[in-house]
Chain A
Amino acid sequence: MKTIRIGCGAGFSGDRIEPAVELATDGELDYLIFECLAERTIALAHLAKVRDPHAGYDPWLRERLTAVLPVCAARGISIVTNMGAANPLAAADVVADIARDLGIAGLRIAAVTGDDVTGVVAANRLLVAETGEPVEALGDRLVSANAYIGAEPIVSALAQGANVVITGRAADPSLFVAPLVHTFGWAIDDWLALGRATLVGHLLECAGQVTGGYFADPGCKDVDGLERLGFPIAEVPEHGPITVTKVKGSGGRVTPATCKEQLLYEIHDPSAYLTPDVVADFSRVRIVDAGDDRVSLDGASGRTRPDQLKVALGYRDGHVGEGQISYAGPGALARGELAARIVRDRLRAAGIAAADIHCDLIGVNALFAARSDGALSDRAEPREVRIRVAARTPSVETAARVGREVEALYTNGPAGGGGATASIREVLSMATTFVPRALVACAVRYEVI
């Protein structure tokens, strides 16, 4: 029985490139997937495309593909990626350029379009799921509207002989589902098969997160060779258990524990994981250690896919200004608290609403406030504390005020402050709406090198 070997060469845009090259070289792969698109990334990419119609694809596309394309071409490994972001056509052109530059011939590069539903959103009276407000109320603040498309157009591209497929906002697991559907010839309504394929995608889509790259807790959960962490491979037969493993000799580990953590990562109801392809059910998945960094998983299933496609809306949402400064030694906590209070009072006097100001004591309560009353008396006095003040403001000028007020603590605040920093960022917020499938028409463009 044929078994497909799929590797994941990136779990986010800025992921490491060396493990992907190792995976292509030594992974004996059929397919190499790069999942590089976070929700907000695509809104940023749209802004880039507005400034330059040839831009708007993943910023690491050229470097990543230059590194892996020669190996993939030599070994006959097909690539599927969402590095097209807001501009899959331009991304495909870049890949074609790289191939020509490297003297690679015989490539068929497919660009999948249709996820950009800005026009559909403008022409229909849709509601923002989070607020119930009409989408049109966002007005010209709306930057992007991308439907999460499924495996189908990618399957078409592979059926047409594409060996590089570049998408925009395809759902993360769909990048993995497509090669399996293509290889095994599953019907697109074979929900059991699609649920099982979605399990493969879900486990692999964050790359090193399933091979020990988000797992180590020294003394409790140790991971060897984390500095040379290997990326994951799934071995998928047409039926039966799938196996998750990694390149032999690479760092990291694949164990039932690493797979369990990833199985539930960003999952709400484990029996209803919604994707454009299927409603997958992971609630009865069984996990067995096959030893030697091999884990076997079985029992995923699925049922009829959702009628509507989820749409990620990106919109301009003001600015955030931030400043940080540190205090050390005896009394550090009291001086840090005093500093935070001073900055808060000055920002309020400058007209920033209290609800839009956020103060943290890094090292004390920035990540997790243990007590709802904010009291810190049950904590040992820290030897150093770093205050962080962040505020949301409509204008970039007001945002700059935040960092300036923190820096001003040097001569207008408590004793011994050091290491002040300031930053400003424009906020692109994300919201959700839903569109009927029939309104989303995907197309594939081919380029042959």
Chain B
Amino acid sequence: MTLRRISHARSGDKGTTINISLIAYDAHDYLRLVRHVTADRVKARFAAIVGGGVVRYELPAIGALNFVLSGVDGGGVTRTLALDAHGKSLSSALLDMEISDDEM
């Protein structure tokens, strides 16, 4: 299944660093996100645009993860030639990621 079934997300920032939040609809699915959506997987998914690292912050109190992607191509919102200068649409691209739904 895709992440979109169990979680929602928001992204965007101003510089060459972009954050994407990933929030479980149901608190019970939070550990599933922690387990499957690692910083490495997110980095691989966005390998085409992310030159730097991906850091993951965990927020168990609200059942959410926050990914911070650095070294994003283009030089930031005022300078980039990309259509979506803020990276606001990346949240939807993350939600399209497949995770296994058979185990916890």
Partner of B8, one of A130, A217, A285, A374: A217
CA A265 – CA B21 in complex, angstroms? 7
Interface band, chain A: 35 or more
Contacts of A357 in B (CB 8 A): 81
Is A214 interfacial (CB-CB < 8 Å)?
yes
Please state if A257 and B83 are interface contacts (CB–CB under 8 Å).
Answer: no
Please measure, in the bound complex, the distance between the C-alpha atom of A360 and the C-alpha atom of B36, giving whole angstroms: 31
- Chain B residues with CB under 8 A of A358: 81-82
Q: Which B residues are in CB contact (< 8 Å) with A317?
A: 78-79
A270 within 8 A of partner (CB)? yes
- Is A430 located at the chain interface by the 8 A CB criterion? yes
Measured in the bound complex, the distance between the Cα atoms of B82 and A357 in whole Å is 10
Chain A residue with the shortest CB-CB distance to B9: A261
CB neighbours of A39 from chain B (8 A): 14, 77-78
| B8 engages A360 (CB within 8 Å) | no
- Distance between Cα atoms of A290 and B13 in the complex (Å): 30
Once bound together, how far apart are the Cα atoms of A244 and B48, in whole Å?
38
CA–CA, A360 and B84, complex, Å: 11
Cβ contact within 8 Å between B76 and A367: no
Q: In the complex the two chains form, is B10's CB within 8 Å of A366's CB?
A: no
Q: In the bound complex, how far is the Cα of B81 from the Cα of A390, in angstroms? A: 6
Of the candidates A267, A372, A392, A430, the one whose C-beta lies within 8 Å of that of B48 is A372
Count B-side interface residues using an 8 Å CB cutoff.
38
Summarize B's interface: helix, strand, loop or mixed: loop
The residue that A285 contacts in the complex, of B10, B13, B62, with Cβ under 8 A, is B62
Given A358-B81, A366-B83, are A261 and B23 also a contact pair (CB < 8 Å)?
A: yes
CB pair A267 B66 closer than 8 Å = yes
Task: Say whether B64 faces chain A, with CB atoms less than 8 Å apart.
Answer: yes
Residues of chain A within 8 A (CB-CB) of B59 are 264, 270, 283
Please state if B78 and A367 are interface contacts (CB–CB under 8 Å). no
Query: B39 at interface (Cβ–Cβ under 8 A)?
Result: no
Task: Tell me whether A260 and B21 are in contact in the complex, defined as CB-CB below 8 angstroms, given that A283-B59, A286-B62 are known contacts.
Answer: yes
A101 interface contact, C-beta 8 A: no
List A contacts of B75 (CB < 8 A).
Answer: 429
Q: Is the CB of B61 within 8 A of A360?
A: no
Complex CA–CA separation, A217 to B9 (angstroms): 11
Select which of B23, B25, B83 is within 8 A of A360 by beta carbon. B83
**Contacting residues, chain A, for B84 (C-beta < 8 A):** 366-367
- A261, A283, A374: the one within 8 Å of B10 (CB): A261
Q: Which residues of A contact B47 (CB under 8 A)?
A: 372
B interface residues, Cβ below 8 angstroms from A = 4, 8-10, 12-17, 19, 21, 23, 25, 47-49, 57, 59, 61-64, 66, 68, 75-79, 81-84, 89-90, 92-93
Provide 23 A-B residue pairs closer than 8 Å at the C-beta atoms, listed in order of the A residue.
Answer: A130-B15, A214-B10, A221-B8, A260-B23, A260-B63, A264-B23, A264-B64, A267-B66, A270-B57, A285-B61, A287-B61, A320-B81, A368-B89, A368-B90, A369-B48, A372-B48, A388-B83, A391-B81, A392-B79, A427-B78, A428-B78, A430-B76, A430-B77
